[in-house]
Homo-oligomer: A and B are copies of this chain.
């Protein structure tokens, strides 16, 4: 039987286009393996930085009716611990694992990348959506094409033998421009988008923001149209493969992402809204969708909505 769901993501063979998004069930080898077993084509680990960080107090992750708000504050066990978990994962599973890294400064990015590369992940995702503490308004690195280009270049220079994907956020003036900065500086792929906003929920009785960090990024079904548009704009600007991420819950959502130009599709918050069975459900629904229409490969749909 042909596997209609097979995709080639920057040279990595995935048995399904579904990629577990970073930050979800991604702290340990065991949790990643559980998701891999349940049908993800690849799994992304939680973003890690140079050092261990406890992050913000709770509430840090807040359901709000249309998805989640999250502000975990870069909580992560540190790159060394993550190397150990990724190594353990690779002993357990053949499913490609994507490492995710961030830096507090531009210079930290290549440093963390070089260290995580020791675990030989299938890909390194570079999360540039964290706030640039050096910047005038605390905007994320991802809002500045020059910084995104520079980070890409530095990481590329340190890690030549593992594909790198730059993870973008909506918070910029032109995604096309940012995507070009990635392409021009040697990225192999783009992951779009990170959580949106940020947003804030205030409790009317207590009269203060509910999130300990006051504000946090939106994810889940409410952001799907924003993510589809982002993928569309990036696909129109560069020819890099895209991991289309944001609000995907169903096979039809996956098809939207692919029609907009995605090669693979990230799934994060749906683990909460739909449960872990979301991976197998989407895989089988997607198979039926393609079979009914005689589509043998997702690459036939890729970018097809650019009319």
Residue numbers in B under 8 Å from A259 (CB-CB)? 202, 204, 207
Q: Is the CB of B202 within 8 A of A305?
A: yes
> Could you tell me which residues of chain A, from 152 to 183, have a CB within 8 Å of some CB in chain B?
171-174, 176-177
Partner of A226, one of B137, B197, B202, B229: B197
Q: Is the CB of A218 within 8 A of B226?
A: yes
- How far apart are the CA atoms of A305 and B137 in the complex, in Å? 22
Q: Does A301 have its Cβ within 8 Å of any Cβ on chain B?
A: yes
Residue numbers in B under 8 Å from A222 (CB-CB)? 66-67, 222-223
Residue numbers in B under 8 Å from A305 (CB-CB)? 202, 207-209
Q: Does A288 have its Cβ within 8 Å of any Cβ on chain B?
A: no
- How far apart are the CA atoms of A139 and B173 in the complex, in Å? 7
Check A260/B228 contact, CB under 8 A, given A139-B173, A304-B207: no
- How far in angstroms is the closest Cβ of chain B from A264? 17
- How far in angstroms is the closest Cβ of chain B from A166? 19
Check A225/B218 contact, CB under 8 A, given A202-B260, A209-B305, A256-B202: yes
Q: Does A141 have its Cβ within 8 Å of any Cβ on chain B?
A: no
Q: Is the CB of B137 within 8 A of A199?
A: no
> Could you tell me which residues of chain A, from 120 to 163, have a CB within 8 Å of some CB in chain B?
137, 139, 143
The bracket for how many chain A residues form the interface is 35 or more
Q: Is the CB of A137 within 8 A of B225?
A: no
Q: Does A240 have its Cβ within 8 Å of any Cβ on chain B?
A: no
Q: Does A75 have its Cβ within 8 Å of any Cβ on chain B?
A: no
Residue numbers in B under 8 Å from A214 (CB-CB)? 232
Residue numbers in B under 8 Å from A177 (CB-CB)? 137
- How far apart are the CA atoms of A224 and B307 in the complex, in Å? 33
Residue numbers in B under 8 Å from A67 (CB-CB)? 222
- How far apart are the CA atoms of A107 and B171 in the complex, in Å? 28
A-B contact pairs, 5 of them (CB 8 A): A66-B222, A197-B229, A200-B232, A202-B228, A208-B307
Interface of A with B (CB < 8 Å)?
64-67, 69, 137, 139, 143, 171-174, 176-177, 196-202, 204, 207-209, 214-215, 218, 221-226, 228-229, 232, 252, 255-256, 259-260, 289, 301, 304-305, 307
Add 13 more A-B contacts to A143-B173, A207-B301 (CB < 8 A).
Answer: A66-B222, A137-B173, A139-B173, A196-B226, A200-B228, A200-B232, A201-B228, A202-B228, A204-B259, A208-B305, A208-B307, A214-B232, A218-B226
Counting from the closest, the 4 A-B pairs by CB-CB distance are A199-B225, A222-B222, A200-B229, A137-B174
